[in-house]
Structure 1
Amino acid sequence: MNILEYENYHENVTHGDIIFPYNTYICSIPYDFSNVPLHWHDELEIIYVKKGKGLITVDFKDYNITAPSLILILPGQLHSIEQLEEYSMEYENIIFNPSMLMPKQADCCTTDFIQPLLDRRITVPTVFTPVYPYYEDVVSSLDCCDNISMTCPQGYQLYIKSQLFNLFFILNNRCKILTNPKSHKKTIDLDKMKIILKYIENNYMNKIMISDVSELLDYSESHFMRYFKNTMGTSFVEYLKEYRLTMASRLLITSDSSILDIANEVGFDNLSYFNRSFKKKYNTTPFRYRKSNKSYS
């Protein structure tokens, strides 16, 4: 189970496919999952918060989010979603590949407007709230996509594309902000961490040695461990364990596999250690966690 499967393992509002890669999912924290671990992907993601409060991190910057809000996650940006205190948060998770708007033969729409935004040569806000002057302009395109997705009349894909082009127009024409570009060192640090996190996402179910990961960055094991703890605030071993437990919590709700099979599937080779670690993180046993959360799946 990769991150996108973890986060969107339930009914979607807009049913996209490889030909039309636009999907909208209804999500809630903590009822669908306790958190979405730090990750990145090549798709553009929009978190459209409709109700409640939550904590969203983008490129290591924390945002306390209150509905209604919209969070723009550009391709390649590190991001995570967590429960904020005792609050719940309901949101639409809109994910699409910008390539659906970009022809094979590049035109000025791609080279002058879409690609510069994706490459972050053009800077726009990450979080949009109703106090932002163009909030209604930004969310109106997404609301239009939601509305037509209720009935999906013939040619609705054309309409959704037109609204996404309108969204890029609003972002380019009205939302650009003047900021200093990120320092070269910060960009390199983000790129290094993206390599590590993608490796964890793709390999957490297997045995991972410190040497496996340190070699990705051409670091010694001791240098890597210092780098990871200084950047993430926790050790690599602890982070990997927490990641595996998070994946296990999702599988307990979305699958009928045995607890032993789930423990093995997420990288634990000792059931007793898995049970102890799970109870320490979630204050309950895997069996009770599954029983109490199945009704929300």
Structure 2
Amino acid sequence: MRAFFEKIPAIEETSFLARRILLSYFDAPLHYHPEYELTLILQGNGKRFVGDSIENFEPGDLVLLGSNLPHFWRSEKTFYENKEPIAEAIVIQFSIDFVKNIFEKLPECKSIIKMLHLSKSGIRFPVMFQTYLEKVVEAHGIKRLILLIDLLGNLSQTSHYQLLASEHFNIKPDDVENERMRKILEFTLDNFQNEISIQAIAEIAHLTVPSFCRYFKSRTRKTYVDYLNEIRVSHARKLLIDSELGISQVGLECGFQNLSHFHRIFKNQVGLTPLVYRRSF
């Protein structure tokens, strides 16, 4: 996995890209691009990274990404063992010029402009808009453009949305910083079920421990330990819903060596104990 600036290809006779993607698994690296992006997961599950947000994703996950917002989707490890295409998504991408030439010149699109401004943090919408995206992908010509405007208009009117990255998220989109963060994310994802010392992760980032702590917090507004616990709790939520493992075993599977510590961290993040969370499903 290599962090990079993604160049979105231009296609003649269309002002934006809309396509259906079918893969064996989602494995795009940490990347960013100037274009806005709307992604709907149709098949597959795993973890979604948007800025400093880490959440599980599953079919129906719909996210709007702002310009130059680092992101990637990563399938669960079980997907890598299956050679049949089982990961599917609809992706719509449109440029800043597209926004300036259409939405910014039309007073009727004020709500869309406001939504696009919020998308600098990434926005998750309810699954109710899936049919809209499918129609955009299937349409052609001027109808396709009208359907996209209608889709964005409806998204901008809903009050049921969730901002993803924190307000002060500050990873600048340059190759050196993204490469360093890529190494940190990759190592954390591959090893969060085990004990990770600050010394070990600092060496991955080629920094001293004090420098690493300052570096990580200045860009994510949280400590590395808090970030690591977010990944572990995210995985725990999935196991509590999808598996029959006991609560203590779930904690161990997610890298928590102490059951009381697992309960405390889980409740602090989710607002419920692991048992109550499982019963709620």
Query: For the superposition of Structure 1 and Structure 2, which TM-score range results when normalised by the shorter chain?
Result: 0.3 to 0.5
The TM-score with structure 1 as length reference comes to 0.46
